[in-house]
Structure 1
Amino acid sequence: MIGAGGCGGPRALSPVLSTSAEAHLTIGVTFDQPGLGQRLPDGSVRGFDVDVAKYVAQELRVPADGITWKQVLLADRESAITRGEVQLVVASYSITEERQQHVSFAGPYYTAGQDLLVRESEKTINGPSDLGDRRLCTVQGTTSSERVRQHHAATVRLVEYARFDMCVNALLAMQVDAVTTDDLILAGYAAKNPELLRLVGRRFSEERYGIGLRKGDDEGRQRVDEALAKMIASGAWAAALKRNFPDSEFLPAPAPHVGEN
């Protein structure tokens, strides 16, 4: 049983649990990340993040048709939660100390690593040290962007867009030389364009994906953690990962320990 909140006044209801009790949740996802969160022409969404979100919702007694999917830009994930536009964000959302000042995280449910995506014909870029004075594209408001600013700003020309599909289009159009973000995101784009793009395959960070929810919603976080642990133990987590990233050349990370954030 979930215990009552601390003393000092009435406890605010968990936005996650109060809306799930009504068999409805609004969940923020990306619409432009193949393999993770992508909106299809028929209006449906699919991807590993989507499958994780559906499993969590099911454990909270919310059926698939009780979910409202809301697109969130990566730079707007905290604000979507704090403004109450969504109850959960499942969108390749790395757990960081800075973000934990504004939102709470359940998870992690995956451990990614920052990598590089280049054109298949590009043979001289095989890691961050090969970037030189190249044009490197990433998305505003991401940990990838911040890491480039902190560690590579003196050696690369940083180009930033609002979405990763814009970076990938720029790469294909030869307007930039590489795209950087988490390997799981880049693997989705590489799989979509296998004859044109390749994942370098040299991680240079650790990104623990969490599910974002309102700051201080400990009850909701506990219930989401329980759902994630069950998904991993049941085999549904591995099945979802394999279904969305079937390329045998890409080896996903093993399941993380939920609750270590």
Structure 2
Amino acid sequence: MKLRKASLAIATGLALSLTLTACGGDSGSDDKKITIGIKFDQPGIGLKTTDGKYTGFDIDVATYVAKELGYDAKDIEWKQAPSADRETLIRNGDVDFVVASYTINDKRKAEVDFAGPYFLAHQDLMVRADDNSITKATDLNSKKLCSVTGSTPAQNVKDNLAPDADLKTYGGYSECLTGLENKAVDALTTDDAVLAGYATQKEHTGKFKLLGLKLSNEPYGIGLKKGDKELRDKINKALEKMKKDNSWDEFVKKNFGSSNYKNEPAPEITETS
């Protein structure tokens, strides 16, 4: 009788173990995901194409960093991060980090932390190819200037360069570009790398020109939740490796090589404390 009871207990335990295993005891590795905020509308930087693919320098950097953190490309969930929403996405935990032409500045550092920088851009102006009335920032006074809500370049123009410019802010750069082409606005301002990406698109060839003014320094950082020192240090380590193994140079050539854009060398990492 005791033997039969012992056999029954063993059999029951084995069945329970098999059931638990079938229910997903090992499924964690299959479900491992990381959510990264990016731009969807910046050619050369971060672009979601019509066939649902993601391309650009930020995409390559984000994919490289994710791999160093232990995630394959298939593990990445891309989430759109418009300029005005980046801090909110990070604070709410909707993304693990943001790689979206995200300039490091003191105002943003009060709300989020940064790793990097991993790229140094400069503010510039883009005008129609046949417009010679704007050659410097002060020429924007009384002109219609376009940028996106939440971007630093637009405010820089209004505060420091051309206070009488008629600033128009839209949700995305594509809207600004349409306005520029249709003469609803006279100039578009943002980072030169972003403008170069738009100007070199096939459908825009010959329509616009960059003025090459270098109106500001725009160090791009990877935004993450305030106080997450462990993640910041891991990302910085990945960025250092990306420079040393020449991946950074390859990403620049891949995304900007077809334009005449003159990029700065890979910047030194400063966001360490």
TM-score (norm 1): 0.89
Aligned to 2:225: 214
Shift of 1:140: 1.0
Aligned to 2:158: 149
Q: How does 1:36-185 map to 2 (within 5 A)?
A: 36-152=45-161, 154-185=163-194
Are the equivalent residues in 2 in contact too, given 1:23–1:61 (CA < 8 A)?
A: no
Q: Distance in 2 between matches of 1:48 and 1:232?
A: 14
Q: Distance in 2 between matches of 1:220 and 1:41?
A: 33
The number of aligned residues is 243
Other structure's SS at 1:55 match: helix
Runs of 4+ residues deviating >3 angstroms: 19-23
Q: Distance in 1 between matches of 2:109 and 2:76?
A: 25
1:205 aligns with 2:216: yes
Other structure's SS at 1:115 match: strand
Q: Distance in 2 between matches of 1:20 and 1:43?
A: 25
After superposing the two structures, state which structure 1 stretch, 59-68 or 115-124, moved more: 115-124
Identity of aligned residues (%): 44
Q: CA RMSD of the aligned region, Å?
A: 1.7
Shift of 1:155: 2.4
Task: Give the helix-richer structure, 1 or 2.
Answer: 2
- Gapped runs of 5+ residues in structure 1? 1-18
Q: Distance in 2 between matches of 1:206 and 1:53?
A: 22
- Partner amino acid for 2:182? A
- Partner amino acid for 2:42? Q
Q: Deviations over 1:150-203 (max 9, x none)?
A: 124532111110111110110011100000011111111111122101111111
Q: Deviations over 1:80-113 (max 9, x none)?
A: 0001100010000000111111111000000111
Aligned to 2:247: 236
- Gapped runs of 5+ residues in structure 2? 1-27
TM-score (norm 2): 0.85
Q: Distance in 1 between matches of 2:130 and 2:151?
A: 27
Are the equivalent residues in 1 in contact too, given 2:90–2:223 (CA < 8 A)?
A: yes
Q: Distance in 2 between matches of 1:153 and 1:117?
A: 15
Larger Rg: 2
Q: Distance in 1 between matches of 2:207 and 2:162?
A: 27
Q: Distance in 2 between matches of 1:249 and 1:61?
A: 35
- Partner amino acid for 2:111? H
Q: Distance in 2 between matches of 1:200 and 1:229?
A: 32
Q: Distance in 1 between matches of 2:131 and 2:66?
A: 42
Are the equivalent residues in 2 in contact too, given 1:120–1:198 (CA < 8 A)?
A: yes
Q: Distance in 1 between matches of 2:155 and 2:138?
A: 17
After superposing the two structures, state which structure 1 stretch, 44-53 or 248-257, moved more: 248-257
Select 1:25's aligned residue among 26, 31, 34: 34
Shift of 1:21: 11
After superposing the two structures, state which structure 1 stretch, 175-184 or 193-202, moved more: 193-202
Other structure's SS at 1:43 match: coil
Q: Distance in 2 between matches of 1:236 and 1:20?
A: 27
Q: Distance in 2 between matches of 1:147 and 1:120?
A: 24
After superposing the two structures, state which structure 1 stretch, 59-68 or 152-161, moved more: 152-161
Shift of 1:124: 2.4
Select 2:266's aligned residue among 229, 237, 255: 255
Q: Distance in 1 between matches of 2:32 and 2:256?
A: 30
Are the equivalent residues in 1 in contact too, given 2:158–2:164 (CA < 8 A)?
A: no
Aligned to 2:19: none
- Partner amino acid for 2:232? R
